[in-house]
Structures are given as C-alpha cells and as structure tokens.
Structure 1
C-alpha cells in the first residue's frame, strides 16, 4: 500500500504518541459578537496560556487533522464519556506543549541534526520509532520497513501530504526529546543527603508501642453540639488553602420526564419484525434484504461457534439452510436471523496478496489485477510481481505474504475469498483498500462455520410516547419558577435530582449520558435560574434549575459552609472531649487511670511506624502518630485531637532498627521516588505560573 498506506495504518498509533489521540466533537456555541477588534479576537480565543492565545481555529485544525484516525481507534462511534476524556487529554497536551516550548526556548534547548538523525535511524532509535515500526510477528524493529519509509519520504516532492505527515511525526519526536532534556535539567538537580536517607530509613523501620484511650466524636450526639459562626470562620481561616477552585464549578437540580420506549412501543417493533420474518423466509437476495431492512448493515460472513449472539449460537449450527429464527430481543433491538449456509471450513489461512490502488478507477485496477493473474498463471513469480506492483509495501517486501490469520482478521470480502477458496488458488477481489490479487498458500484446521444474515430493528420510542413525556415536561415548565421548583416537582410526581460541582465541559451527568446542551445553558445562566426550555437528553425530557455557582479562585465561606460542616462539628466536639480527658488526666499517673475516669476503653497499639500512621481498627491518625514519635516513654500525653476522636496515650517504648549500613542504596531509592514526583509537580508549578485560562466551555 506504499508509504501512504503505512501512514494510514500506523497514523492512529503515531498520533496517540505525538498528541495523545487529540479528538473531540467540536460544536461551536453562540459566540457573542463584540464591536471592537480586541473583543472580536477574544470571541475566537479558546484559551490563554501565559501571553499566548489559543484560537478556536488552531484548536479545530488539530481536531480536523486527527479526527478520522482517532475515530478509527474507537470504531467510528464514541460515547460522551470517551469524547470528554479525549477532549481533556487534548487540552492538557496543548497546555503542556505550549508551556514547555516557552520554557525550552528560554534555555535555548535544541536537538542537533546529528542527534535528530540518530533518534530516527541510529543504533538506538527513539521509542516512538521502535513502537511505530515494530514487526507484530517478530516483536522486533523492522529496519527494512523503516528504511523504505525514509527512502520514500526523501524522494517525495515538496507539498506531498506524505512528506508533511512524516515531518510532523519527526517534529513530535524532536520536541519530545527537548522536553526530556528540560525535565532532566530539573531532576538532575535534585539531591538526597545522608541525613535524609537516615530519617527515611528510621521512619519506615523504627517501631513504636503505646497504649491509648480515645473518646470518639460519634460518642457525642450531634444534637448536643452547637456550631457558631465563629467556629465556621476559624476552621475556614485555618484551611483556606483547601478551598482554592481551579476552575468554575456549578451545581444544579433537575426533573426528568421519561420518554423511554413503552410496552406498546416494544410490541409494535416486535410486530414489525415478525412481518419482516415472513418476507425474509421467501427472499432470494438475503444481502440486499439486510441492507434495505436492517438498522445495522452488517456484511454477511462465516462465523465459528461462539462468534454469534448466544441466542443464535445454540440453534444455527444444527439448523438447515434457509432456517429463520426470531424475533428475539438482544442489545435493545428485536432481531431475526436467517441461516444462509453452513459448511466445514478452515480455522486459519496463510495467504499472500498484491494490492492495486483504485485511485485511477476500479476498472483499470481490475484490469491490471487480471493481467498480473495471467502472468502468474503463465509462470511468473508471484513474489517478484508483488515486490514490483503491490501498493502494500509492508507485505510486498515479503513477496506479498500476509502470514497466517484467523477469521475476523481481514475485511469481509478478503476473508470470504481466502477461507472459501482452495490451496494454491488465485482470486481477485475488491475492498475499500483497492483491488487484491490473492494467492491462498495454505489452509489449516477444520470446523463448521455458518453464514447468518441478521435483520435488527431498534426498540425506540414512538412519537406518541415522546409527545406524552414532552407534554408533561412542558406543563411542568409552564408552572415552575425559582421559588417553587421542589413543590411543583412533587405535584407532578417527579423526583428532583441534584448534581453538584459540574465543570463547563461535562458531557455525561448522573442519569444523563449526553447533556452538553444542558451544561452550556447551566454555565450561561445565573444562580436560581430555571431553564427556559425543555432539554432533550436521550429519552429524557429535562427541566433544570441552577442552585450554586463556585467561581474560579478561593471560594468564600458561604460556598463551602455545607462542605465543612462535619469537620467543624467534630472540632467543636473535640473541645468538649478534650476537657473531659483533661479532667481525667488531673491526678492520674497511668493511662489505665485516665481511661477509667474518662469512661473510655484502654487499647494497645503495637509495632507502629511513622511512615504508615495507622492505628489498627481506627485508620489514619497523622497527629496522634506524629505526637507519639516525638514523646518520651512512660509519660502521659496531653489530649490530641485526631481524625476519629480525641486521644491520650502513653508510650511503652520504641524498637530501633539495625543501623543503616547502605546509605547509597537508600539515597538512590529516595531520589528515584523524588524524581518521579517532581515531573508532575514541575508541570503543575509551570502551569500555575503560566496563568492558564480555559474558555473551552464557550465553544464545545
């Protein structure tokens, strides 16, 4: 298939490596038209990274270039969740590349010509080259294929699409190498000294044994605690750094009226399929019947046992040709299936082919294939002709050999020819790739296979069902306002569903799989607004109300008050429990006496390490364990406010580990962990410094 075929077949992999499968569905929203040129420019800006504006057109250009390849990776159809994931991945890639490019430019980091050449074709090429040119049969780098591509690129004319694609691939590798150098500059500057190694060793190996008494927060009923505004403010002030919002988030609630297929709808589809079943039995053109009547236009191919729907797998291998099964329900559809043919066929085939491009017209390609067939039948070498004429250069170098493959590995028309022919036979078939001259080298195994035609009709809602659900939603919308949303929902017999902290790019929401239109409205509305329309989300008809807006930046106390209430309540409880334990400490000389006075249970904790601050049966208790390792044995502690309650403890003793003998190894382990963490921390620091602004919600 030549260099274009290689790039077409491998570009999915290449683009995944270079830009992280940059695909998402761009649906341009209503962009406000501003008068001044400055505002017109902002109206097309999808993001700002430092001082660099990323325009919608630039972003969309990347999408257009990679959409087809990415869709192939996902079989053509992608769920909203996958689209959202790829969208986020694409944005992160652009942000990281822009930031790193700016930083590398400041340092004048370069990859020289000789280094670039070595990355592509040197003794140890870049991992992306190795991955892109690995022979799937041997698992090794295919140097011949790589050299063939390099030769074709070198001979290509300027402006050739193939040359541009290859240049982009290579530039990606060079940029990746520059980024690697930049990260190395940072990680090579990290240092772990001997004291840090010793501290880390002791944190993992020094053991503490102690006894403690705790008064759990749950032991004090919530109704016995009064939380004041000062309590909220105090907690908020101390933990304000935890309430920094990296992006605007919104919460809303909605009511959905279900328009899913009714029982009557399902029976109507079933009746339709039953009628088709009678026609299916008498038709003489099964393939055409499927194409005309089926919702899913699947090609007719032979299948082994286990490859059909379970309902068919149990009947078709014992039925006679022409047998029609169904209607049966599967995958949200009613289906009927007809056994076209049953035979014994090979399990695998070894074949070779010569691919002729149909770019000049299918008639010319077929004529050329027939001519080559006659030459081979007259004694010419198939292998030599494949090397000369085949557009599939990957197999051409092997004399056209495709190796051995099983059913389902090739396109249907190719598989039909290879599996239903005989050893040594030459066949000419046409696929979406062009015209193939196939030689069947060998056929192995033997098992029964069947060709089954399936006609399916999706169980969908009727217009009557949809209109009824939409009518209920419209009636609800006509009565609802900001203040009576809950009351009107109750009157309509509908459940109000809350959805919290949605970002502007969300597509899938709880109970709503594809809700982009709804999310766009939510981020245009004001807090308290009720939607002015009924949103159609799948089979659901939705009316929504915005309940909260959390802006980017540090959130106010009012916005986090509900969120922090449990922690604030525990802090208020801690004050009461601390007083109780402090009273128990007065006059006590042992931890057992404290437990008896406080009415708590005395518990031991054995072999606790600082690096894993867990009290068995309770969970993580950072403050308590940290305090333990800073205490002297035999002394009663002061009350310590923990995660689960308030504690008083007494250390029985510490078990020190053997002296650290290999400081170098310990330092290397810590340095390796530090280097791994530093890469993510480095990017986050650069991202914060760049002051990234994300306006994608206006466009997507």
Structure 2
C-alpha cells in the first residue's frame, strides 16, 4: 500500500505521532498524571511540560486526528468517552515527546544522516517503512516503490509534506529504540535472583492451619479511636499518594424517558409510517427522508444490521416487507428489494483521475476510456497507474489488495462486486473517475439490498419539559447542606461519582458528563453546580462533595475509605489476644484449634509466588510465614487479610534444579520493562507539569 493511501485511510494517524511511539505505550501507562492548577494559565495554553507550553492551536488538531482514528477503529460517531480517549492519547504523547526528547539530548542520543538513510531505503528499513511499503504476504519491502515515491516528492507538495512527517517519525522511533536498548543493557539478573525466582515458583509446601475470621466479631462490637486511625494511616502513608487531583460529586438525574403516552404515540406513528412505506414508489428516497439511522442503499452481507432484523431479511424473498419490529430502543421497517449471490471479497487495482486536473469530468471519463483501450490492447495497467493515477496506490501499480463489501464507496463497490474477474470498469465517485481492474473474486455468499427505516422511541417535548421543570425547581431549592435531604424528601435517588479526574470522559451513571466535570473543577467543595446538565436520558443537578488534591492525602480525606481496614486491624488485635490465651506458638495446632473451637484445615501444594489459600483468600503474610518455618513447628498468631491464623508446615517438596541461564533469559524482559517504566516515571516525577486540559475539553 502506498504512503498516500495509507495516510488517507488512517485519517492522519501519523500526524499525532502515535505510530512511532511503541516504547511510549508502556513507558507512560498510568504514570502521566498531573494536577490541574489552571487559574494563572493563559487562554490558549492547554498545559506546560517542563517549561514547554502546549498551545490549543497545536493540540486541538492533533486531538481531531486522534478522534478520527478512534472513530475508524471502533466505528460509530464520536462521543464523550471517545473524545476523552483522544485527548488523553495526545496529552500522553506530548508529555512523552517533551520529557524523552530532553533525556535523549542529555544522553547525547542522535540519529545520523547515514542511519536515517538506512532506515528509509537501506537494508535495515524502519518498521514504519515496512508497514507502508511492505508486501503483507511476503514481508518484503518494495525499494523501487520507495525510491519512486522519494523522487516524486519534489513535484508533489502534499507528498513532500507526508514524507517529512514520516522521516521525523522514523527518527523518533530510532531514538526511542536507542534509549530502550540503553536502559535494557543497564539491568541484569544475578544467579541468586534467578535461583530464588525458580524456587519461589516451583517449591511446594503442604501445611495445616487454624483461623478465626474477622467476621466472627460483629462490627458493632468494635469501637474505633483516633489512635486506631492514626496508627493505620502512619503505617500505610505511601498508599495515600494521590497521583492526580480528583473530584467527587453527588447528582440527581431527572429522567425524561418516554412515558406510556409517548410510547403509544410512537407506535401509532410507526404504524402509519409502515403503511406509507409499503405504498412508496421510491423506496430509497423514502428511507433516506424518514429513517433516523442511515444505511447505504446497496447490497450488504450478513451481520450489518440489528441481529433480529438481519436474521429476518436474509430469510425473506425479494419484494417482502418486514416490520414494524421493536428492539433496543427503536422500531425497524425494511423492504427486501433484491437478493443474489455475490463474492465475499474482491482483489482489484485502479487508476484514479482527478477531473479538476484534466478539464472536467467528461474529459476525465474520456481519459479513463482511452486508458482502458490501451490495457485491452496489451499495455501494462501497473505502468499506466504509475503514470496517470492520483492515488497513492500508484506506487504499487494501482494495487488495492483484497477488500470486502463496505470497504469502498458504493459506486466503486458495485462495479467491483457486480463485474467478473478480468473486467475493466470506468466509474465516477466522490473522489474522481476510476478505471478499475477486477483481478480476482473470492468466495460466494447471499447478499440483500434493502430499503431500511429505523425510528427511535423518543420522549415527547411535554415529557422533557416536565423533567426540566422538576430539575429547575430542585436546583432553586437546594444548597450544599440540603442536597441529600431535599432529594430524600422528594423520593429522588442520589447518584455518586467518586474520584473523577479532570480529563475523564465518563462518570458512573452519566453518559455525557464533560461539561459537568469541567464545572466541578471550577467549583469549591460544597457548591451546587450552577447548571442543569443534559444527558441522553435526563437532566442532572449536581453537588461537589470532595476535592482530592495531588500529593499525599490527609487522614481526614481517606478516613471513610480506610474505616473497614482499620476495623479489621483492631479485630486482628482482638483475635490475636484470643490465640495467645489459647496457647498459640506453644501448644500443638490441634490443641489450639480445640481451645478456639475451630477445625484444623489441611492445604496441599502451595507455591510462594501464588500465595492463595484455596476457597479462602490471597494471604501473603500467612503463606510467607509457612515458607519461613520448619516442618512440625507451630507459628504464633498471624494477622492476615481475611482473619488471624496459626500455621504448621507439614512437608516441603524442592524442585529439580533448573537451568540458571534459561531462568535469567525468562526474567530479563520483565525486569527491563520495569526499568524502562521506572525511568520514565522518574522523569515525570522530576518534571514540572501543569495540566489545563479541563478548561478546553
């Protein structure tokens, strides 16, 4: 596939630098998070990364390109979640580019002109060059196509621009590979580490235990003190590092889902529409005017429609009317216009002629007809494509590879699938005039052409107005102190969105929360947000309940979260006293179990690296204690995650000696990746990053 075709099909994928950042994907991870101090930022600054300002003028187009990429990848139209993904993708890319760029410069990493030449057209082509100019079947790179395209760049400004961006991405990728290699060669696995890891994964332990679950003490019998909270907080302070500012809010959703009256009115409307559809003289025009969901009026394969509709129309003969049928949240109507057998896929090549460059569409068609005659007389289609085609596939002689229905515009698709192998077809589409050569048709399956109408079940204006009035009255009445009380009085459900980051495109129970989140980041704790926010199914009023700044959270901010853990720690002390009074560590395990009124439980073949007690829980402390004891000994009380235990090892089964060299090779990739991730996290922690995205998206 040619460079221009690749870029066109992927909607500017390379413009956001996403292809060339293989290393960044696992370096960045969740490490890139920063606070949101935006009050002093200028109107156009999306963020500042170690002194480098990111302007919305440069950031915005990259987000648009990333969004187009996600739309192509996932299908459908853009939504809040997809936009948030695009924004996050571009921001992570910006942070990585700046921080890694500075690190490359500090380390003296460069790509020489000789190296760049070799990566572009030498014996060691970049993965990007292989992707653009490689044969998918053989993996071989077409160097003649590369050289031809490089020569053509001087005469084609657009191609020259694409090559410049490609060269920059190849250079970036090469620098990243050098950095990756540098970090990887700085780490190694010792013989002792290899031996320990092998033992931890393969040495088997069998033991028996007696336990008392924390649940044996009712929560009401445990009175927690400030000292209990402080002890737990101080012992686990690292757990309370907040990598990015978050905010929490409560909300009430005033639903405007269709009422019974709305449903009845919609049913009457769809029945009338069905009668009109049956009588319509122009099926495709009727569908285009009346359907909420547009599908092409062309032959389609199975699996393109709602499953119920799909199954029905593919079993019906031409001329049949289907519906109205209700599924999801919409009514469906369909006229089966025609059915036939058609190829599953087609292999074709084409020459694209731009009418604007040859004096209009008529002259473009005449030129295509002339080229068709030359091919029929024995001229090379590939050579003519290289000479006359305006598409990037010209570098491959016009070859488009193999494609299924739905991959091309309708005019092109119809010609390719309705013809037969060896045909030459001249067609006009939105891109220009095509001379198509059908090289091969593969497989055969039933296809149908249908006129399709889908009408969503929507709330009436009256239903929406009533919901908005309720939301307005609620907003006017509540304050930060009365939000929950008023909601409860009115029988309203209060939803909770907890720990929402400024860049998030989603929140629990809300499908379009971006404006709400933006306002939450402008508000103070306890504020009722100033607007009524529109979701797909209702109007929302919200209250900001918590602000968690970046950094170590204070005890008061996490007190509610850690309460169950603090309670279990206190229960652990209470149960430990019971174990000690029963003689834990002194008596046999059976005698201890009898005094505690518990049964001894046997466990077979546990390994250190997977410390799960079957049917109970993952108990790291308990299994760790087992592997540190001698068979027959009885432990003291061990406070675990589920309860307090006493254990006694029965037997240990040591594995046969492993291959140390092989074990090192097994461990090294994971160690190297952790080192790379750690190196980037260190760069990010050291950098001064100001993230103002919430102002713009």
TM-score, normalization: structure 1?
0.88
2:94 alignment partner in structure 1: 94
Change (3 A) 1:355 1:270: farther
2:31 alignment partner in structure 1: none
Change (3 A) 1:230 1:441: closer
1:26 alignment partner in structure 2: none
Taking the aligned partners of 1:257 and 1:688, their CA distance within structure 2 comes to 43
Cα distance, 1:296 vs. partner?
Answer: 3.2
Query: Secondary structure of the residue that 1:450 maps to in structure 2?
Result: strand
Residues 366-375 or 480-489, more deviating? 366-375
Change (3 A) 1:532 1:315: closer
Taking the aligned partners of 1:69 and 1:522, their CA distance within structure 2 comes to 29
Match of 1:268 among 265, 268, 279: 265
| Aligned CA-pair RMSD | 3.2
Cα distance, 1:366 vs. partner?
Answer: 2.8
2:529 alignment partner in structure 1: 531
Taking the aligned partners of 1:347 and 1:59, their CA distance within structure 2 comes to 41
Taking the aligned partners of 2:2 and 2:177, their CA distance within structure 1 comes to 33
1:259 alignment partner in structure 2: 256
Does residue 134 (structure 1) correspond to residue 131 (structure 2)? The answer is no
Cα distance, 1:635 vs. partner?
Answer: 3.4
Taking the aligned partners of 2:645 and 2:584, their CA distance within structure 1 comes to 15
1:301 alignment partner in structure 2: 298
Change (3 A) 1:474 1:17: same
Cα distance, 1:447 vs. partner?
Answer: 5.8
Change (3 A) 1:62 1:606: same
Contact persistence 2:278–2:321 (CA under 8 A): yes
Residues 242-391 of structure 1: matches in 2 within 5 Å?
242-304=239-301, 309=306, 310-311=308-309, 313-315=311-313, 318-321=316-319, 323-343=320-340, 345=342, 349=346, 351-360=348-357, 361-373=360-372, 382=381, 384-391=383-390
Q: How big is each residue's C-alpha offset from its partner over 1:650-675, in whole Å with a ceiling of 9 and x where there is no partner? A: 334544444x4633222332333211
Does residue 572 (structure 1) correspond to residue 570 (structure 2)? The answer is yes
2:678 alignment partner in structure 1: 681
Residues 455-466 of structure 1: matches in 2 within 5 Å?
455-466=453-464
Contact persistence 2:257–2:537 (CA under 8 A): yes
Query: Secondary structure of the residue that 1:353 maps to in structure 2?
Result: strand
Contact persistence 2:67–2:83 (CA under 8 A): no
Query: Secondary structure of the residue that 1:63 maps to in structure 2?
Result: helix
Taking the aligned partners of 1:52 and 1:401, their CA distance within structure 2 comes to 44
Change (3 A) 1:73 1:222: closer
Cα distance, 1:304 vs. partner?
Answer: 4.6
Change (3 A) 1:511 1:71: same
1:151 alignment partner in structure 2: 151
Residues 123-132 or 214-223, more deviating? 123-132
Residues 270-669 of structure 1: matches in 2 within 5 Å?
270-304=267-301, 309=306, 310-311=308-309, 313-315=311-313, 318-321=316-319, 323-343=320-340, 345=342, 349=346, 351-360=348-357, 361-373=360-372, 382=381, 384-392=383-391, 394=393, 397-398=396-397, 400=398, 402=400, 405-421=403-419, 426-440=424-438, 449-585=447-583, 588-658=586-656, 660=657, 662-669=659-666
Cα distance, 1:567 vs. partner?
Answer: 1.2
2:9 alignment partner in structure 1: 9
Change (3 A) 1:331 1:438: farther
Query: Secondary structure of the residue that 2:503 maps to in structure 1?
Result: coil
Taking the aligned partners of 1:308 and 1:662, their CA distance within structure 2 comes to 56
1:62 alignment partner in structure 2: 62
Taking the aligned partners of 1:408 and 1:44, their CA distance within structure 2 comes to 40
Contact persistence 1:529–1:546 (CA under 8 A): yes
Cα distance, 1:489 vs. partner?
Answer: 1.4
Does residue 80 (structure 1) correspond to residue 80 (structure 2)? The answer is yes
Change (3 A) 1:73 1:584: closer
TM-score, normalization: structure 2?
0.89
Contact persistence 1:582–1:639 (CA under 8 A): yes
Corresponding residue pairs, total: 681
Contact persistence 1:217–1:574 (CA under 8 A): yes
Taking the aligned partners of 2:342 and 2:591, their CA distance within structure 1 comes to 85
Cα distance, 1:320 vs. partner?
Answer: 4.7
1:18 alignment partner in structure 2: 20
1:25 alignment partner in structure 2: none
Cα distance, 1:425 vs. partner?
Answer: 5.0
Residues 511-520 or 67-76, more deviating? 67-76
Match of 2:218 among 218, 221, 234: 221
Q: How big is each residue's C-alpha offset from its partner over 1:244-264, in whole Å with a ceiling of 9 and x where there is no partner? A: 111111111111111122333
Cα distance, 1:3 vs. partner?
Answer: 5.7
Query: Secondary structure of the residue that 2:209 maps to in structure 1?
Result: strand
Q: How big is each residue's C-alpha offset from its partner over 1:323-364, in whole Å with a ceiling of 9 and x where there is no partner? A: 443333345333332233345555555544322123434344
1:27 alignment partner in structure 2: none
Contact persistence 1:32–1:43 (CA under 8 A): no
Query: Secondary structure of the residue that 1:693 maps to in structure 2?
Result: strand
Does residue 189 (structure 1) correspond to residue 186 (structure 2)? The answer is yes
Contact persistence 1:429–1:436 (CA under 8 A): yes
Consecutive unaligned residues of structure 1, counting only runs of 5 or more, are: 23-30
Cα distance, 1:572 vs. partner?
Answer: 1.0
Change (3 A) 1:359 1:311: same
Change (3 A) 1:261 1:588: same
Cα distance, 1:187 vs. partner?
Answer: 1.9
2:112 alignment partner in structure 1: 112
Q: How big is each residue's C-alpha offset from its partner over 1:485-508, in whole Å with a ceiling of 9 and x where there is no partner? A: 223212322111122111112222
Change (3 A) 1:326 1:614: closer
Residues 188-207 of structure 1: matches in 2 within 5 Å?
188-207=185-204
Contact persistence 1:305–1:317 (CA under 8 A): no
